[in-house]
Chains A and B, each alone.
Chain A
């Protein structure tokens, strides 16, 4: 049973980017296993009630990012070859974007780089007590 993706079409984040993030997150968390099949473009578009070209675009970019592979007539699958690196890349991508959002938010509040660095040190100390030298 493939994971259920969800997107918010009303959000200001492009739908194809939301989908890319969702698939990468599913791969990073292991809810989508290496070699596992993704829904077809049409099935996912109908399931989420979003435009099929938008879903196709997300799949194309996921292919380019080497997260999934598509074989004509068979469908799209999470890449199986060298899967640990696929998962690692997915983790890095999702985490980097989450951290970037957090920094953007701090910056919009008027924090400068040194202030954000101090905050980050504090956050690391909270979640990794003692490890952060």
Chain B
């Protein structure tokens, strides 16, 4: 069953299309990483999913049902900022969470507070950005949610606490919870997630199982004796995402059938052809395009 289902979601702000006909589903127990350059529509997609902002059109479901008040009994959401009240202490936030959620688990919460080395007596306003994120995460995981929506859950955290967040996600997933999380750190998605959705300019441009993408997405690289070789017929090839030519080198970003593409390239009489395996970062950059680098995506 799909724990999260987004169908043809569109969100328009005036004349701006923030989310443009996005559809994806996340199976129960799966962890899906949401990647994309700044402004791609990741946060807006999450907020629409949870009904925090009104969608322009589209169908949304959590646990196979449209989102209603009861949905939030088992859903935890950590926004990218301003999740907490500055004037309240951590202990007061804990009390609000305890009263609001039937599944609140005090022992679990104490564990999480200790794990993140937080002092419950402190006011949220006196905490660093990373500590505030840690409080929001501790509260989110303390209600034993079935579905977690985490918007950049490790922003502001040091590498040790970032690893703690990954452990929390992995632990939740192995207990059957479903997780959707966005991140600018591709390495985190590559570890904790089994699925990835890559967005750009409000659209979904890659959606798949990470291991499946790694099997399918390759670069076919060929070196030719001279730079006079014709690749025009690759431009409209559905198997190829992008064609890159520099001098005598041809690089084809392939979305499937790399071996067949390599055989086609061989008919052009190159000096050598190789198929290069791609990590998620290469797949991300290949799909989003090199111009995303200038927008400061790591």
List A residues at the B interface (Cβ < 8 Å).
9-17, 41-42, 45-46, 49-54, 57, 104, 108-110
A108 with B211: CB separation less than 8 A: no
Min Cβ gap A40→B in Å is 9
B171 with A51: CB separation less than 8 A: no
19 more A-B contacts (CB under 8 A) besides A12-B279, A14-B212?
A9-B190, A9-B191, A10-B190, A12-B214, A15-B210, A15-B211, A45-B173, A46-B167, A46-B170, A46-B174, A49-B170, A49-B192, A50-B191, A51-B170, A51-B193, A54-B194, A104-B275, A108-B272, A109-B274
Chain B residue, CB-CB nearest to A13: B277
Give 24 A-B contacts (CB < 8 Å), ordered by A residue. Answer: A9-B187, A10-B187, A10-B279, A11-B279, A12-B276, A12-B277, A12-B278, A12-B279, A14-B215, A16-B211, A17-B211, A45-B174, A49-B191, A50-B170, A50-B191, A50-B192, A51-B31, A51-B192, A53-B30, A53-B194, A108-B272, A108-B275, A109-B274, A110-B271
Q: What residues on B are CB-neighbors of A42 within 8 Å?
A: 171, 174
Q: What residues on B are CB-neighbors of A110 within 8 Å?
A: 271-272
Interface size on B, residues (CB 8 A): 34
Ranked nearest first, the 9 interchain pairs of A and B with the lowest CB-CB distance are: A12-B277, A108-B274, A14-B211, A52-B174, A42-B174, A110-B272, A51-B194, A53-B194, A9-B190
Q: B73 an interface residue at 8 Å Cβ cutoff? A: no
Min Cβ gap A22→B in Å is 15
A108 with B191: CB separation less than 8 A: no
Q: B163 an interface residue at 8 Å Cβ cutoff? A: yes
B211 with A10: CB separation less than 8 A: no
Number of residue pairs A-B, CB distance < 8 angstroms: 75
Min Cβ gap B27→A in Å is 9
Q: Select B214's contact among A13, A45, A52, beta carbons within 8 Å.
A: A13
Q: B25 an interface residue at 8 Å Cβ cutoff? A: no
Q: What residues on B are CB-neighbors of A53 within 8 Å?
A: 29-31, 173, 194
Interface residues of B in 203-222 (CB under 8 A from A): 210-212, 214-215, 218
Min Cβ gap B222→A in Å is 10
Q: B111 an interface residue at 8 Å Cβ cutoff? A: no
B178-190, CB under 8 A of A: which get 1 and which 0?
Answer: 0000000001001
B30 with A49: CB separation less than 8 A: no
List B residues at the A interface (Cβ < 8 Å).
29-31, 163, 166-167, 170-171, 173-174, 187, 190-194, 210-212, 214-215, 218, 271-282
B277 with A11: CB separation less than 8 A: yes
Q: What residues on A are CB-neighbors of B210 within 8 Å?
A: 14-15, 54
Q: What residues on A are CB-neighbors of B30 within 8 Å?
A: 53
Rounded to whole angstroms, the CA-CA distance of A110 and B278 in the bound complex is 21
Rounded to whole angstroms, the CA-CA distance of A115 and B174 in the bound complex is 49
Rounded to whole angstroms, the CA-CA distance of A47 and B152 in the bound complex is 23
Q: Select B166's contact among A15, A49, A108, A109, beta carbons within 8 Å.
A: A49
Q: What residues on A are CB-neighbors of B218 within 8 Å?
A: 12
Select the residue from B170, B192, B210, B282 with max chain A CB neighbours within 10 A. Answer: B170
B215 with A52: CB separation less than 8 A: no
B173 with A52: CB separation less than 8 A: yes
Q: What residues on B are CB-neighbors of A9 within 8 Å?
A: 187, 190-191
Min Cβ gap A2→B in Å is 18
Chain A residue, CB-CB nearest to B219: A12
Chain B residue, CB-CB nearest to A57: B211
Q: What residues on A are CB-neighbors of B273 within 8 Å?
A: 108
Select the residue from A12, A41, A57 with max chain B CB neighbours within 10 A. Answer: A12
Select the residue from A14, A16, A53, A104 with max chain B CB neighbours within 10 A. Answer: A53
Rounded to whole angstroms, the CA-CA distance of A14 and B166 in the bound complex is 19
Min Cβ gap B225→A in Å is 11
Rounded to whole angstroms, the CA-CA distance of A90 and B210 in the bound complex is 26
